[in-house]
Amino acid sequence: MADIKVLLVDDEAGFRKTLGKRLDRRGMIVQEADSGVQALEAMKIFEPDVVLLDVKMPGMDGLTTLHKIKLINPLVEVVMLTGHANMDIAIHGMELGAFDYLMKPVEFEELLYKLEDASTRKRHREEKITAKEHSQ
């Protein structure tokens, strides 16, 4: 699980800081952002494996942010987080390319599993692209 680069995007500072510290203790490299705009700025200098993205944020919401993240880097995996059960948002997020969707409060071990799974998927996709480029 070490060396997974996570961009944690949530407007709730307490939640973001606490979760960021817990992920850091598990050996992950964590960058935090408090909004969709800040997340997009962070993507210019920090290349995450996985973005952990809150759906409900003031300003740019999570779905809009997801769409823009995928335009910047289609291979980055995005796990959506929300405190509001809404299957329409979950389905729309998956259509936009989200890896998965978790409800707050999220069980930490489940979150770790999702982050590891998403990172593995990204790595496999990158390896396939590299192998295809070398075979041409």
C-alpha 98/C-alpha 82 separation (Å) is 13
Confidence at residue 12, expressed as pLDDT on a 0 to 100 scale: 94
Query: What is the pLDDT confidence band of residue 1, given thresholds at 50, 70 and 90?
Result: low
Q: How far is CA 93 from CA 3, 87, 98, 136, in A?
A: 26, 10, 5, 34
Kindly report, residue by residue over 28-57, the tens digit of the pLDDT. Answer: 999 999 999 999 999 999 999 999 999 999
Domains in the chain: ranges and CATH: 5-135 (3.40.50.2300)
Residue 123 pLDDT: 96
Mean pLDDT (whole number) for 10-22:
96
Question: What average pLDDT does the segment 5-33 reach?
Answer: 97
Q: Identify the residue with better confidence: 10 or 91.
A: 10
* Residue 91 or residue 16, greater confidence: 16
Distance CA 19, CA 102 (A): 14
- What is the per-residue pLDDT across 84-125, written as a single tens digit (0 to 9) for each? 767 788 788 989 999 999 988 889 999 999 999 999 999 999
